Structure 1
């Protein structure tokens, strides 16, 4: 999950008067924001600070983050002509991303950096709806009503995501994560038929680099096997499914990432501590376990609680 954010006072300070997408595209600022939680919490890896829609912005698609709403496109993409008119992401446009990663890696030293990109379905869902959506009816309808246009859009999004992730890995990130925020709106049949190939295509852009690849989605407990099968090294599990059950569904074939419930970060410490220990015990069933939250850090989280959680994890699982 994104580590940096509104739970950190130092983040709020450097973001004063700076729009979200601008903060991602200023290399020095994006690097500083990435480093903040590493300094504060002593985590084992940093997570590159960016946004899922940055590849759209860099390609020249009109998009902005509207406070209180989320990503909003100037013009939704809903027809074959709309898809054909989409600009392509270029190597030159990715230079701010490479520079931000280079600056960050220099400061991190031996601490690895995890890069990330939005998965094609999530990007395409934003593009079809034009803004965040509760149930993603637009893209789900397009898959069946106009599968050729859907495939073209999903492939465009896959290439944009893949190039975005590749820029991070080439600049020094040690691993990459494909993040599918909205895949939980899909049934297994639709995911397999209309989405999996695009996710695999996105990852094809970076496979030759040999970096470990993580695939995470929210609300995707029924999709874990299909998400593994696009070709990844680690499967992320959100807070809804115990890790031992996720491991059972996956047949013990792949390490897992997850999955502390973010809601418990504001619970009494004894409740949170018991939950963290339970997640560690549950994850022991898998071939490997990368411990993190099962979704993003809520803005109201006390950062001292996060530091205490990291200390607890290190004391229980020093490796």
Structure 2
């Protein structure tokens, strides 16, 4: 186990008792915490103004810019967490991969990875070369952000190994990820090497954010929903476990007031300490059939998309796993009474789990009225 620095927001007790962190640790909160995936982005006019003339990956690697974008929705909406503004391909770029974000299309690779020789060339880029010096822009952005957030936690995030591998093999976005799924079966040895590499690269990226000051970590598997449960468990889950192992050992110590009644052997005048792990969330799109397997890779919390009710998701997880989700993003453009009824239904179903963090079942659509998000946060906090 590796204990976080005493100045870390969790260790310094700035965020350890926050609604979000405690809910992630399975402690139901009187007020349901809420944040939104893609809350920092195109739905905010201040974001669009700030991004003028700056390419996506350049913005992610500009510490002051990335920090400001992360903070914008926290200031505007009053959400219970910031989500670090970055992109899942940033660690690929920092590792030396030729990748860029093409407006209107998404990540595009200069050279797709489709053969065993391609995998060999890629893996010559050693993940161990991703040092603090390489990640300096990320570390500085997290430092700037957590200094402004105070007792509001920052969530670090990274793409899951399968999603990164799918981009690498396809060369860009894909509807069915057929080339990636073909490599998985046609050359399982090359596939396993590719997955181990993406796991270490993205795991190092996630760990860097947490060590620098993030109070939780989310692994985002955009494309896992294209897989069968068997393929996920056999060819993907081991790499996701490997990615999360980069964060799984990070701990912090919480000090409680003396409580002699709780421990007859303890001195009544001595504070009690407890070691806790940094909470980890695992979210995937279209992954209703994979929820239990996604939890078992080493996550504390499972994010649920909008396709499956939260009470059913909790049942599939054995009613023992904190859950996050799952307001349908399409509802954000519906009349307020319709959205309100939907949110109340999500909250009621979320009560089936030990704890619940309200979120969307995917990201905020770019055309969303930001005032609706602000109103939604106030509504949930007011219940």
TM-score calculated relative to the size of structure 2: 0.82
Q: Deviation at 1:208?
A: 1.1
The residue that corresponds to 1:164 in the other structure is 205
Greater CA drift, 20-29 or 91-100: 91-100
1:255 to 305, 318, 322: 322
2:356 to 277, 280, 289: 289
Q: Say which SS state the counterpart of residue 302 (structure 2) adopts.
A: strand
Greater CA drift, 25-34 or 88-97: 88-97
The residue that corresponds to 1:37 in the other structure is 73
Q: Say which SS state the counterpart of residue 2 (structure 1) adopts.
A: coil
The residue that corresponds to 2:170 in the other structure is 129
The residue that corresponds to 1:48 in the other structure is 84
The residue that corresponds to 1:69 in the other structure is 105
CA distance in 2, matches of 1:40, 1:68: 26
Question: What aligned pairs does 1:14-25 form with structure 2 within 5 A after superposition?
Answer: 14-25=50-61
CA distance in 1, matches of 2:40, 2:206: 19
CA distance in 2, matches of 1:2, 1:84: 34
2:224 to 167, 183, 207: 183
Q: Say which SS state the counterpart of residue 134 (structure 1) adopts.
A: coil
Q: Deviation at 1:88?
A: 2.7
Gaps of 5+ in 2: 1-36, 251-276
2:336 to 265, 269, 276: 269
Aligned residues of 2:294 and 2:302 also touching (Cα < 8 A): yes
Aligned residues of 2:282 and 2:301 also touching (Cα < 8 A): yes
Larger Rg: 2
Q: Is the aligned partner of 1:213 residue 2:280?
A: yes
The residue that corresponds to 1:238 in the other structure is 305
1:197 to 227, 232, 238: 238
Q: Deviation at 1:9?
A: 0.3
Q: Deviation at 1:206?
A: 1.0
- How many residue pairs were aligned? 316
The residue that corresponds to 2:381 in the other structure is 314
Q: Say which SS state the counterpart of residue 210 (structure 2) adopts.
A: helix
Aligned residues of 2:248 and 2:298 also touching (Cα < 8 A): no
Q: Deviation at 1:283?
A: 0.2
CA distance in 2, matches of 1:213, 1:7: 27
Q: Is the aligned partner of 1:88 residue 2:126?
A: yes
Deviation readout 1:156-187 (Å, 9 max, x if unpaired): 00001100000000000000000000000000
Q: Say which SS state the counterpart of residue 44 (structure 1) adopts.
A: coil
Q: Say which SS state the counterpart of residue 134 (structure 2) adopts.
A: helix
Q: Which has the higher contact order (CA 8 A, sep 6+)?
A: 2
Deviation readout 1:97-151 (Å, 9 max, x if unpaired): 1111010000000000000000000000000000000000011000100000000
Deviation readout 1:50-93 (Å, 9 max, x if unpaired): 00111101111000000111000000011222122221341121
Gaps of 5+ in 1: none
CA distance in 1, matches of 2:104, 2:56: 12
Q: Say which SS state the counterpart of residue 362 (structure 2) adopts.
A: coil
